[in-house]
Structure 1
Amino acid sequence: MKLHFKKVFLMLAAGIIGSQTISAQDIVRKFDFGSGAVLSGFTGVDAQSVYTPENGFGIVSTSPVKAQAGEGECNLTNDWVTSDAPFYFKIDLPEGRYRITVTLGNSEEATATTVKAESRRLMLENIETPKGEVITRTFIVDVRTPRINDTLEVRRKPREMTYLNWDNSLTLEFNGPKPCVSSIVIESANGLRAIFLAGDSTVTDQENEPWASWGQMFPRFLKPEIAVCNYAESGETLKAFRRANRLEKIISVMKPGDYLFIEFGHNDQKPGGNHVDPFTTYQEQIRFYMNEARKKGGIPVLVTSTARRAFDENGKIKKTLLEYPDAMRQLAKEENVALVDLNAMTKVLYETLGVANSTHAFVHYPANTFPGQDKALEDNTHFNPYGAYELAKCVVQSIIDQKLELANYVVDDFAGFDPAKPDDFETFFWPLSPAADVVKPDGN
Structure 2
Amino acid sequence: MKQNILFSLLIAGWIPAAGLSAQTYDFTFAPNKADKGSTTIYITPDSLYPGEGHFGYDLIPAPDGKSDQPFFFSVDVPDGNYRITVTLGSKKKAGLTTVRGESRRLFLNRIPTRKGEFKTFTFVINKRNTVIDGEEKVRIKLREKNKLNWDDKLTLEFNGSAPCVANIKIERADNVPTVFLAGNSTVVDQDNEPWASWGQMIPAFFNDRVCFANYAESGERADTFIKAGRLKKALTQMKPGDYMFIEFGHNDQKLKGPGKGAYYFFATQLKTFIDEVRLKGGTPVFVTPTQRRSFDENGKILETHEDYPDAMRWVAQREQVPVIELHDMTRTLYEALGVETSKKAFVHYPAGTYPGQTRELADNTHFNPYGAYEIARCIVEGIRGLNLPFAACLKDYQPFDPAHPDNPDSFQWDDSPFTEIEKPDGN
Structure-1-length-normalised TM-score: 0.89
The residue number in structure 2 matching 1:104 is 88
Specify the code of the residue in structure 2 equivalent to 1:431. Answer: D
1:29 corresponds to 2:12: no
Return closer, same or farther for 1:274/1:63 CA change in 2, 3 Å cut-off: farther
Deviation for aligned residue 1:275: 8.6
Q: Could you tell me which of 331, 339, 356 is aligned with 2:323?
A: 339
Deviation for aligned residue 1:53: 4.8
1:249 corresponds to 2:213: no
Residue by residue over 1:287-310, the C-alpha shift from the partner in whole angstroms, topping out at 9 and shown as x without a partner, is 110110000101000000000000
Return closer, same or farther for 1:163/1:389 CA change in 2, 3 Å cut-off: same
Equivalent position SS for 1:65? coil
Residue by residue over 1:264-291, the C-alpha shift from the partner in whole angstroms, topping out at 9 and shown as x without a partner, is 0111000357994122222221011011
The residue number in structure 2 matching 1:371 is 355
Q: Could you tell me which of 393, 408, 416 is aligned with 1:409?
A: 393
Contact 2:355 2:419 in 1 (8 A): no
Q: Distance in 1 between matches of 2:325 and 2:264?
A: 20
Deviates more, 1:144-153 or 1:331-340: 331-340
Deviation for aligned residue 1:34: 2.8
Quote the sequence identity (%).
Answer: 50
The residue number in structure 2 matching 1:381 is 365
Deviation for aligned residue 1:405: 1.4
Contact 1:119 1:165 in 2 (8 A): yes
Return closer, same or farther for 1:61/1:240 CA change in 2, 3 Å cut-off: closer
Q: Distance in 1 between matches of 2:51 and 2:403?
A: 49
Deviation for aligned residue 1:130: 1.7
The residue number in structure 2 matching 1:76 is none
Specify the code of the residue in structure 2 equivalent to 1:259. Answer: Y
The residue number in structure 1 matching 2:57 is 59
Contact 2:77 2:152 in 1 (8 A): yes
The residue number in structure 2 matching 1:38 is 34
Unpaired runs of at least 5, structure 2: 1-16
Contact 1:175 1:431 in 2 (8 A): yes
Q: Could you tell me which of 392, 396, 405 is aligned with 1:422?
A: 405
Equivalent position SS for 1:148? strand
The residue number in structure 2 matching 1:48 is 46
The residue number in structure 1 matching 2:163 is 179
Q: Distance in 2 between matches of 1:64 and 1:33?
A: 12
Q: How many residues align?
A: 409
- After superposition, residues 129-278 of structure 1 pair within 5 angstroms as 129-272=113-256, 276-278=260-262
- After superposition, residues 272-291 of structure 1 pair within 5 angstroms as 272=256, 276-291=260-275
Q: Could you tell me which of 302, 314, 320 is aligned with 2:298?
A: 314
Return closer, same or farther for 1:292/1:257 CA change in 2, 3 Å cut-off: same
The residue number in structure 1 matching 2:11 is none
Equivalent position SS for 2:323? strand
Deviation for aligned residue 1:94: 1.5
Equivalent position SS for 1:286? helix
Residue by residue over 1:210-256, the C-alpha shift from the partner in whole angstroms, topping out at 9 and shown as x without a partner, is 11000000111111011111100000011111110111111122100
The residue number in structure 1 matching 2:10 is none
Q: Whose relative contact order is higher, 1 or 2, with alpha carbons under 8 Å and at least 6 apart?
A: 1
Contact 1:111 1:179 in 2 (8 A): yes
C-alpha RMSD over aligned residues: 1.7
Equivalent position SS for 2:344? helix
The residue number in structure 2 matching 1:434 is 417
Return closer, same or farther for 1:150/1:225 CA change in 2, 3 Å cut-off: same
Contact 1:217 1:388 in 2 (8 A): yes
Deviation for aligned residue 1:61: 5.9
The residue number in structure 1 matching 2:9 is none
Equivalent position SS for 2:264? helix
Deviation for aligned residue 1:335: 2.0
Equivalent position SS for 1:390? helix
Deviation for aligned residue 1:165: 0.5
Equivalent position SS for 1:128? strand
Deviation for aligned residue 1:60: 2.7
Q: Distance in 2 between matches of 1:52 and 1:154?
A: 24
Deviates more, 1:172-181 or 1:123-132: 123-132
Q: Distance in 2 between matches of 1:262 and 1:246?
A: 12
Contact 1:30 1:43 in 2 (8 A): yes
Deviation for aligned residue 1:52: 3.1
Equivalent position SS for 2:83? strand
Deviation for aligned residue 1:117: 0.2
Contact 2:27 2:40 in 1 (8 A): yes
Equivalent position SS for 1:355? coil
Residue by residue over 1:74-112, the C-alpha shift from the partner in whole angstroms, topping out at 9 and shown as x without a partner, is xxxxxxxx8411111111111111000000012232211
